[in-house]
C-alpha cells in the first residue's frame, strides 16, 4: 500500500517537472532540460557519483532514437539507471527505492529569481510627495493618481481671467 502512494507521488513529481517552464506541455512527456532540473532539484546529482553529464547520458539512453522527450515509463527506467550510481553501497532494488524517495513529492524550485527592489533613485523618483509643479496636480494627498482628471486641462468658460480673485462677484456689484 505504501509503495502505490509512493509511485503516485513519483508520477505527480514527474508531471510537475514535465510542465515546468513550458506553457504548451501536457505533463505526459519530459524534455532533457526538465529531466536535468529534476535531478538537480531532487539532489539526485551529487557531483561525485552522479554528475550532470551522467544525467544527460542516461536521458539519451532511455529515450527513443529520434525522440526529444521521455514518457513516465522511460522516466522510471532512467531512475533505475541512475540509482546504482547514486547509491553505490545498496542493492539495485534498494537503490531504486531510495532514488524514488528522493524524487517523490518534490516540485520544481525557482532558484536565483531576481526580486525587484525600490531603492535609491527608483524610490526617490516614485515618491509622489516630492513631486512639484504640474506633476503634483496629477496625484491626490495619499499618492494615488487622479487619472484623466489629473492630466487634462479643464477649460474654464466663466468669462473671467484664470486666477482672478473676485470671480462671480459682478452680479452682486451691479444689483446694488
Q: What is the mean pLDDT of residues 8-18?
A: 86
- 17 pLDDT more than 70: yes
Q: CA nearest 31: which of 14, 18, 45, 50? A: 18
pLDDT tens, position by position, 102-141 = 888 888 887 776 676 666 777 777 777 777 777 777 777 7
Q: Which residue has the higher pLDDT, 166 or 71?
A: 71
Between the alpha carbon of residue 108 and those of residues 36, 41, 67, 72, 147, the distances in Å are 11, 7, 23, 17, 41
CA 44: distance to chain centroid? 23
pLDDT at 1: 37
**pLDDT tier at 176, thresholds 50, 70, 90:** low
CA distance 74 to 14: 11
Q: Return the SS3 of 14.
A: helix
pLDDT at 147: 74
For the chain, domains (ranges, CATH) are: 2-103 (1.10.238.10), 120-172 (no CATH)
Amino acid at each position: 500500500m505504501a509503495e502505490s502512494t509512493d509511485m503516485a507521488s513519483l508520477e505527480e513529481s514527474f508531471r510537475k517537472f514535465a510542465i515546468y517552464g513550458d506553457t504548451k506541455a501536457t505533463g505526459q512527456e519530459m524534455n532533457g532540460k526538465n529531466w536535468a532540473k529534476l535531478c538537480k532539484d531532487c539532489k539526485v546529482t551529487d557531483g561525485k557519483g552522479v554528475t550532470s553529464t551522467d544525467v544527460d547520458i542516461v536521458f539519451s539512453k532511455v529515450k527513443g532514437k529520434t525522440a526529444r522527450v521521455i514518457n513516465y515509463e522511460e522516466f522510471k527506467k532512467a531512475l533505475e539507471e541512475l540509482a546504482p550510481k547514486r547509491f553505490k553501497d545498496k542493492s539495485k532494488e534498494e537503490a531504486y527505492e531510495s532514488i524514488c524517495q528522493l524524487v517523490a513529492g518534490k516540485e520544481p524550485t525557482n532558484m536565483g529569481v531576481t526580486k525587484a527592489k525600490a531603492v535609491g533613485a527608483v524610490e526617490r523618483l516614485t515618491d509622489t510627495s516630492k513631486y512639484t509643479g504640474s506633476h503634483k496636480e496629477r496625484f491626490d494627498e495619499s499618492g494615488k493618481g487622479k487619472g484623466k482628471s489629473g492630466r487634462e486641462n479643464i477649460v474654464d468658460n466663466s468669462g473671467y481671467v484664470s486666477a482672478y480673485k473676485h470671480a462671480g462677484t459682478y452680479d452682486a456689484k451691479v444689483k446694488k
